[in-house]
Amino acid sequence: MRILELGGYLAPAYAGMILAEQGHAVTKWANPGPDPLEQLHRGDELWAWVNHGKTVRRDRTLEDVSTLTSGDTDIIIDNVRAATWARLGVAPEVLASRLSVTWVSLRADDDGRSFDVIAQLRAWGDRGVLPFYLGDTAAGLWLAFKALAAPTGHHVIRQGACLAKLVEGELVAPMDPSEPWDEPGTYGPDGVLYRGEWVREQPRNDEWRRENLRHVAGRYQI
């Protein structure tokens, strides 16, 4: 599939990266100036990684999306705010219909700015000083999935809902506390007592990761 990636920061870039790794032809219209990712510490490395396998162009702007014609692309993904599209005079729902493409827009739950500043969970265990951008990567995964699974037309997905899908935040638990899904564990110094057996997780340190996770040059592989 021919995929056009619009917008900045990490979420759409991560979605585009996943799609490019699966063999799709991804073209990214990047900001003429530095993307916010490029201005981070080691941002050049992050930029190179999240955009590998893509065709990156800096000679096109968001306004140019109105010049697309049917057959130029199959899928469009973006994380542009609705107010920005309105200011530029672009109606994604109208353009998606005219081009006969699937267009998926990732937006914050209130159509404002991304909430990832408070959703950046430190999920590396013992290496807790490294931020793991779960809000962006979770949203990027769902953005990539929706782009391939959704029918023609314009679709909006919400960043908070994307995160909830991965962490069971939408799970409807039994209202009666006397009937839980499973008996809660008993925690103690030896771990957690689960179904009559004490279970203790070993540290997920660098040595464990090198032995148990696939990696190439330090990058963990799916």
How many domains is the chain partitioned into structurally? 2
CATH of the domain at 103: 3.40.50.10540
Tell me, yes or no, whether 176 lies in a domain.
no
What is the pLDDT, as a whole number, of residue 126? Answer: 43
Q: Span 29-49, mean pLDDT?
A: 88
* Same-domain check for residues 123 and 196: no
| pLDDT tops 60 at residue 220 | yes
* Same-domain check for residues 125 and 50: yes
* Same-domain check for residues 98 and 200: no
* Same-domain check for residues 85 and 12: yes
Tell me, yes or no, whether 171 lies in a domain.
no
Least confident of 101-115, 147-161, 163-177, 206-220: 163-177
Which value, to the nearest 10 degrees, does the dihedral of the CA atoms of residues 36, 37, 42, 48 take?
-140
Residue 180 confidence class, pLDDT cut points 50, 70, 90: low
CB 79, CB 105: distance < 8 Å: yes
* Same-domain check for residues 127 and 192: no
Predicted TM-score (pTM) of this structure? 0.77
Q: Span 180-198, mean pLDDT?
A: 67
What does R_g of the chain's alpha carbons equal in angstroms? 21
* Same-domain check for residues 116 and 149: yes
What is the pLDDT, as a whole number, of residue 124? Answer: 40
* Structural domain harbouring 43: 2-166
CB 24, CB 57: distance < 8 Å: no
* Same-domain check for residues 213 and 132: no
Contacts for 65-68: CB closer than 8 Å, 24+ residues apart: 65/4, 65/6, 65/90, 65/95, 66/90, 66/95, 68/4, 68/95, 68/99
Q: Which two tokens stand for residue 16?
A: 């585009």
